[in-house]
Structure 1
Amino acid sequence: MTSGSDPYQSVRDELAALRQQLTGVRGCVIAGVDGLLILHDSITGFEPHDVAALSAGAYGISRTTGSVLGQGAFSEVTIRSKDGYLAVYAVGELALLAVIGDSGSNIARLHLEARPVTQRLAEKLAIETSHPFG
């Protein structure tokens, strides 16, 4: 790895592409399931650390619900508010992708686009975090 390079650039590129492809997406966050911020893309008007923590909370209750109901591991959860959405997706077993959308977001299209992105992110984060110091 060269000095000054960003080991997460390919992950940032995935987030930027998702945001640019979908009308109404206001930002993306990658967080650990513990609520700690890993990285974010173009969030304006939101504190990325808060979004990471909220995503972990949504993950926790959804994971417990799936377990109690015998429905398997966490995959995704969407929270709809009056003026927008927070969609949280599993990225492997230890990370989450949170996508913030406004009320004009097409949530069905977001789900279609985000699911393959989470697979690619899981692969990239596994590769890039296996040697974090070069």
Structure 2
Amino acid sequence: MGRLTKVAVVSDPDPNAVVLAELKALRDRVPQMTGALVASSDGLLIAHDLPAHIEPNGMAALSASQLSLSYRLATTAHGGGFHEVVVRGTEGHVVVYAAGWTSLTVLAGPEANVGRLHLESRPVARTIAEHLSAVADGKDQISDTDG
């Protein structure tokens, strides 16, 4: 019987760079969008394109908390999963999208077209989830070698 050996798979480009490129492209497509970030479900920052006055690690932790609370609320109320939550504040919108084991948080001004924001952000959340899942799966590959 062969032994199991972990094989490191080098991802090119860096997964954070790919995610950051998605965030910047999203910001370019959506008028009134002021920033975005991707965080793991436990609040670790993966990538961000935020204004300078917002602390990215704190925002990542808040996004993870909102994701957890929203998931719990949806599960309790309807027995189903969670897709997104919109927080409409006096100075703008914060939208948190479930993206696999991560969340995509998008910030937009008060005059933003939320329908357009959803139209552009939902596919980006799916793309980011698929990309990070593939990277995570690739880094955890195990090969069976004889020796």
TM over 0.5: yes
Is 1:112 the counterpart of 2:119 in the alignment?
A: yes
Select 1:123's aligned residue among 127, 130, 137.
130
1:12 Cα deviation (Å)? Answer: 1.5
Q: What secondary structure does 2:129 align onto?
A: helix
Identity of aligned residues (%): 37
Distance in 1 (alpha carbons) for counterparts of 2:80 and 2:128: 21
Q: Which structure 2 residues correspond to residues 23-42 of structure 1 after superposition, within 5 A?
A: 23-42=31-50
1:42 Cα deviation (Å)? Answer: 4.0
Distance 1:109-1:71 versus aligned 2 partners, 3 A rule: farther
Instruction: Confirm or deny: 8 A CA contact 1:90 1:96 kept in the other structure.
Output: yes
Gaps of 5+ in 1: none
**Cα root mean square deviation, aligned:** 2.0
Instruction: Give, as a single letter, the amino acid of the residue that structure 1 aligns with 2:116.
Output: R
Counterpart in the other structure of 2:5: none
Q: TM-score by structure 2 length?
A: 0.80
1:70 Cα deviation (Å)? Answer: 1.9
Instruction: Give, as a single letter, the amino acid of the residue that structure 1 aligns with 2:109.
Output: D
Counterpart in the other structure of 2:26: 18
Q: Summarize deviations over 1:106-133 as a string: whole Å, max 9, x none.
A: 1111011111111111111112233459
Instruction: Confirm or deny: 8 A CA contact 1:8 1:128 kept in the other structure.
Output: no
Corresponding residue pairs, total:
131
Could you tell which deviates more after superposition, 102-111 or 5-14? Answer: 5-14
Distance in 2 (alpha carbons) for counterparts of 1:125 and 1:46: 24
1:36 Cα deviation (Å)? Answer: 1.7
User: Of the two, which has the highest radius of gyration?
Assistant: 2
